[in-house]
Amino acid sequence: MSHVGGGEQDFEINLAPIIDCLVVLITFLLASLSYISIQLLDAGVDQGRSNQIQQQTEKALSIHIQKDGSLKVRFGQSPVQTWDGNKEKLLENIQKMKAEFPKINSVSVSAEDTVVYENVVKIVDHLRPVIPFVQLGGF
């Protein structure tokens, strides 16, 4: 008697498409993880002063732009100062700080989520003549 339906079937699973998909997925994950880790973006232009940029200053200057246009400025461990959004007054105050502390060569600029990007760019443009290295952070 013949055995009905009990025969063995040979089949192969082609693993090449599965491996291709995994390679693409791993590449995508690694590329996206490198962008997630960026917390501070260099917005300055290196004008042949790479040794100055690499020097660490004793006190860090950071400016946070509020949604109402005011600026919260912190210098080192000093308490946070609130300045109005007047760009000329900002430049004048930064020049005073630079005259008092000539080692200041970098500033970190951050803003609240609701601040228009154009305002951030204007602040950065006003800071560049006085401070050579401007960083954008906290976005």
| Residue owning tokens 């013949």 | 2
Q: Do the domain assignments include residue 9?
A: no
Q: How far is CA 57 from CA 90, 98, 124, in A?
A: 21, 12, 20
Q: Do the domain assignments include residue 6?
A: no
Contacts of residue 129, defined as CB under 8 A and 6 or more positions apart, other chains included, come to 91
pLDDT at 56: 44
Chain segment 79-130, per-residue pLDDT in tens: 777 777 677 788 888 888 888 888 888 888 888 888 888 888 888 888 888 8
Report pTM.
0.55
Chain segment 51-60, per-residue pLDDT in tens: 444 444 446 7
CATH number at residue 64: 3.30.420.270
Q: What are phi and psi of 52, to 5 degrees?
A: -70, -40
Question: Which residues form the domain of 52?
Answer: 40-137
pLDDT at 40: 55
Q: Do the domain assignments include residue 91?
A: yes
Which token pair is 61? 């200057």
Q: Do the domain assignments include residue 19?
A: no
List helix spans (H) across the chain: 16-36, 50-54, 87-100, 117-127
| Rounded distance between C-alpha atoms, residue 31 and residue 54, angstroms | 27
| Rounded distance between C-alpha atoms, residue 107 and residue 94, angstroms | 10
- Split into its structural domains, the chain has a count of 1
| Rounded distance between C-alpha atoms, residue 93 and residue 22, angstroms | 55
